[in-house]
């Protein structure tokens, strides 16, 4: 989603903020801007363009400003434009505000402010904050008090940073539902919505919690609640490898992250899977082991790719651990008033750990007494901090907007949870050992698969001009079909749909003709013969068949026009391998179509607003 960067210290602030904004470009955005305090005045520069344009505008005149804030915007209220870009200023250009989130009651506040004589330049909800702070500054004792009073009137979500030329050595930040991390340096402070923006400058960070406000000056940082109660913020050491957020010789982050999967799958298992002993150790779940074993049901909740991972997890956990599982869209979960109790366990799956709908689902589950556990990638994220436990996926920073390595790491962790729960529910160590050794073999198989992936490039040239794709799978590979279709839509802008293969006859078969590429997930598992029958049905209607099949399958060559080979594995672990050719197919088709795969249009990496 939108990105925030701020700096207050003894160095030139503008280059630091611009560099931080470049680090956040992967999140997706449509406009960018900065505001600095120089020569005793607030100066804002913004554009409906890329960070490089801001960089060029300030290259010749960086000035000596030691306070600066910057923002990359993903449009919600108001189209992408220069005037709608952040920062937003008050009537007299004394106050600058950057904001992630949505002010739900902005229209009511705006009307009151207009009636009081304020004039607005943009059509955003955020500009209301600048004018509201200006209005309250007339009566308050200073900027801190004005910001606090303004936020008490706001309904919605926000991560907000404010500066004013009337208090040029102060930076104020606050959050409610949108993450902010504060970096501590030597006589200097950084603030960002994502730690990747500031990791090159400091590893000592504090995280603001919902309802907190931070006042940062050259003398230090103070944190308070919006009710003006002092809070204590611990400083944590950020574990961050900067090399992981560089392309490292690859043309795009998406391709790099696809090729990192042997390592990231291994990292998800490292220290947890004791294959020789048939054991799984998950320290983040040990304190809720009894609740897991005795759960009436396990509910897996996520959005987008994480929801697809949850669907695969349902097959894994029910088959291996024999525990009942339900899967829910986080965006719908709380709005249907779910019936939950202390006998339920809810896993919240989110790469960022900040997804707004998944956060809301977690809080709904906790309010009704269910155990709320996280499966997240980002250490220190809100779900990681507010959940009652869980498991990190350890995929490292994922920069490409279209999730790849996080998906397979989520599947790996869900497989570990299935084995962990199965052992707790009485499966023998020998049976677990067989499954654990197969799981342990996956990184090697994925590495081999990536070395022989040249066939995918040929398909990209063949199908780059297709207008539609259909992806079909059965059992645990049905969610893989959904994920493959999603990847293609996200990065190539080709319409694609994923379906259970057997459901094809209930509608989608009407679309099939000689121009329709149909991708089948056809591993040699218990449902193979059923999938072959579905392939024959498509072939009879002249559809163009692409099959993802095992290396030893010779029958498939007789009925599929194209075959993408994958190593064979245990059926319910198959999705971890079978999705990778589909990730590559989406990537290479997008490249052939000239699309920016790392920053596809209209998409954001972390969806922190509803």
Q: Would you name the residues annotated as active-site residues?
A: 2, 605
End-to-end CA distance of the chain: 11
Tokens found for residue 444:
């090697």
**Contact in structure between 537 and 501 (CB atoms under 8 Å):** no
E strand residue ranges, 104-167: 156-164
SS3 for 208-257 is CCCCEEEEEECCEEEEEECCCCEECCCCEECCCCHHHHCCCCCCCHHHHH
Cβ neighbors of 150 (< 8 A, separation 6 or more) are 129, 132, 133, 136
**Contact in structure between 249 and 260 (CB atoms under 8 Å):** no
Give the H/E segment covering residue 564.
strand 562-566
Residue at token pair 């339900």: 326
| DSSP, residue by residue, 250-289 | -S-HHHHHHHTHHHHHHHHHTTTEEGGGTEE--TTTGGGH
R_g of the chain computed on alpha carbons: 25
Nearest to 414 by CA among 327, 287, 523, 288: 327
Tokens found for residue 552:
């030893």
If one counts every other C-beta atom within 10 angstroms of the C-beta of residue 610, the result is 14
Nearest to 602 by CA among 21, 27, 196: 27
Q: How far apart are CA 577 and CA 592, in angstroms?
A: 24
Cβ neighbors of 89 (< 8 A, separation 6 or more) are 35, 42, 44, 95, 96, 97, 121, 130
């Amino acid at each position: 989603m939108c990105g925030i960067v701020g700096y207050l210290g003894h160095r030139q602030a503008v280059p630091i903020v611009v560099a931080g904004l470049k680090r956040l470009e992967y999140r997706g955005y449509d406009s960018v801007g900065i505001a600095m305090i120089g020569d005793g005045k607030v100066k804002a520069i913004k554009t409906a363009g890329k960070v490089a344009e801001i960089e060029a505008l300030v290259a010749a005149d960086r000035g000596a400003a030691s306070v600066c804030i910057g923002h990359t915007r993903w449009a919600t209220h108001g189209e992408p434009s220069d005037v709608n870009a952040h920062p937003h200023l008050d009537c007299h250009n004394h106050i600058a505000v950057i904001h992630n989130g949505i002010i739900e009651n902005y229209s009511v506040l705006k009307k009151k402010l207009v009636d009081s004589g304020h004039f607005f330049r943009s059509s955003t909800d955020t500009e209301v904050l600048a004018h509201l702070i200006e209005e309250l500054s007339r009566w308050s004792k200073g900027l801190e008090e004005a910001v606090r009073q303004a936020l008490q009137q706001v309904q919605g979500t926000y991560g907000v940073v404010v500066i004013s030329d009337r208090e040029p050595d102060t930076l104020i930040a606050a959050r409610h539902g949108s993450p902010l991390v504060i970096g501590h340096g030597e006589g200097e402070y950084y603030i960002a919505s994502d730690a990747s923006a500031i990791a090159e400058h400091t590893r000592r960070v504090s995280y603001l919690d919902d309802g907190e406000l931070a006042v940062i000056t050259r003398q230090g940082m103070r944190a308070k609640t919006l009710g003006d109660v002092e809070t204590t913020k611990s400083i944590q050491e950020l574990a961050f490898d900067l090399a992981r957020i560089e392309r490292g010789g690859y043309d795009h982050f998406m391709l790099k992250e696809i090729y990192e999967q042997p390592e990231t799958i291994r990292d998800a298992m490292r220290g947890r899977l004791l294959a020789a002993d048939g054991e799984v150790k998950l320290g983040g779940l040990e304190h809720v082991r009894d609740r897991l074993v005795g759960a009436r049901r396990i509910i897996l909740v996520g959005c987008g790719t994480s929801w697809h991972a949850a669907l695969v997890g349902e097959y894994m956990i029910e088959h291996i651990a024999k525990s009942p599982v339900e899967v829910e869209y986080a965006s719908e979960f709380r709005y249907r008033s779910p019936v939950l109790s202390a006998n339920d366990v809810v896993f919240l799956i989110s790469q960022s750990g900040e997804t707004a709908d998944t956060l809301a689902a977690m809080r709904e589950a906790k309010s009704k007494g269910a155990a709320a556990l996280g499966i997240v990638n980002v250490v220190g994220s809100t779900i990681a901090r507010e959940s009652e436990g869980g498991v990190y996926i350890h995929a490292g920073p994922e920069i490409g907007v279209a999730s790849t390595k996080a998906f397979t790491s989520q599947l790996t962790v869900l497989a570990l949870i299935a084995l962990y729960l199965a052992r707790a529910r009485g499966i023998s160590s020998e049976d677990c050992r067989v499954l654990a050794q197969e799981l342990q073999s996956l990184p090697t198989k994925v590495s081999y698969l990536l070395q022989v992936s040249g066939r995918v490039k040929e398909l990209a040239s063949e199908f780059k001009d297709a207008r539609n794709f259909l992806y079909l799978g059965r059992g645990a590979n049905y969610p893989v079909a959904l994920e493959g279709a999603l990847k293609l839509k996200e990065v190539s802008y080709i319409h694609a749909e994923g379906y259970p293969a057997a459901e094809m006859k209930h509608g989608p078969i009407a679309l099939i003709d000689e121009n329709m590429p149909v991708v089948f997930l056809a591993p040699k598992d218990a449902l193979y013969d059923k999938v072959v029958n579905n392939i024959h049905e498509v072939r009879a209607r002249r559809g163009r068949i692409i099959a993802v099949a095992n290396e030893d399958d010779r029958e498939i060559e007789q009925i599929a026009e194209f075959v993408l080979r994958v190593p064979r594995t245990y059926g319910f672990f198959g999705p971890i391998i079978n999705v990778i050719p589909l990730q590559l197919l989406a990537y290479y088709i997008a490249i052939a179509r000239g699309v920016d795969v790392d920053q596809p249009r209209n998409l954001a990496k972390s969806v922190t607003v509803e």
